Structure 1
Amino acid sequence: MEPTTSSALQASFALRATIGRLRRRLREVASSDGLTPSQVAVLTRLGKEEASTASALASAEGVRPQSMASILSALEQLGLISRAPDPTDGRRQIVTLTAAGKALDRDNQQARREWLTRAMHERFSEDERQAVIAAMALLERLTDA
């Protein structure tokens, strides 16, 4: 394996930092309706996965099971999630979004999409937007392993 170049190091650092800032900005754009960032993250994850267990959510979000239990309890009290026994393992519960949770997740996705589209339209020229499209194609190659 050949040594990495300083440009590879610089690009990886810049990419991680920018993606982190973009993720935070997209979270800010979403309507939190008084939810904590952790609660919004769980709603978003459930919106993508349809259903999960508390332990899988805790692992995916990098929190302790006790912390996830608190998050889920708050979301359940707000009527955004429901829990039901796992049909294959009665000790576990399956967590899903309620209709209200799905609506909030859908609204948040739309708000993020609209903000990003509008920001790219207002802040970038056509050539810059085309450069972003080309850069995304390059970044896709990182995930093709």
Structure 2
Amino acid sequence: MNELPVDPEVARALALAGELRVVAGQLKRRLREQTFLGDLTWTQIRVLSRLDSDGPATVTGLARAEGIRPQSMGETVAVLKTAGLVCGAPDPSDGRQTVLSLTPACVEAIKSGRAAREDWLFHTIRSKLAPAEQEQLAAAVGLLKRLVEP
């Protein structure tokens, strides 16, 4: 069987993609270690994250955004309410619906978690990277931003 010659640029980009995926996963795990998430499930964390980034929402809106059934989202929200992380208020335009938002305690926990992750990153960068390497990292961050642009 004839093998096609491998384009070195394609091979290099493919290898880089694999390495970047692995390193991004490792970094994500290390950052997650810096914050106590308790016994929250991935879905519960996603709901809190969505409410934090997008603002208040209904159970139906959250379910649609997460691609799950409203009944399943209702169960998730009930656990978050019981934990004191989410509260609800009647929807001003439709009293049958409840608009959910993060409790002040949850907002504070999110802020403190972000601060802990940033603090870990700051100290790790300062202790493991020389000033020239920090400059390289700054340039790499700019490139990573370009990768995630729409």
TM-score by length of 1: 0.78
Q: Does residue 135 of structure 1 match 2:146?
A: no
Q: Does residue 43 of structure 1 match 2:75?
A: no
Unaligned runs of 5+ in 2: 1-6
Q: 1:98 corresponds to which residue?
A: 103
- RMSD, matched Cα: 2.6
Separation (CA, whole Å) in 2 of partners of 1:70 and 1:37: 14
Percent identical pairs in the alignment equals 37
Q: 2:74 corresponds to which residue?
A: 69
Q: Which has the larger radius of gyration?
A: 2
Which of 63, 85, 89 pairs up with 1:84?
Answer: 89
Pick closer, same or farther for the CA change 1:56–1:122 going to 2, 3 Å: farther
Separation (CA, whole Å) in 1 of partners of 2:97 and 2:111: 27
Separation (CA, whole Å) in 2 of partners of 1:59 and 1:117: 37
SS in 1 for 2:57: strand
Separation (CA, whole Å) in 1 of partners of 2:127 and 2:80: 36
For these two proteins, the number of residue pairs brought into alignment is: 143
Unaligned runs of 5+ in 1: none
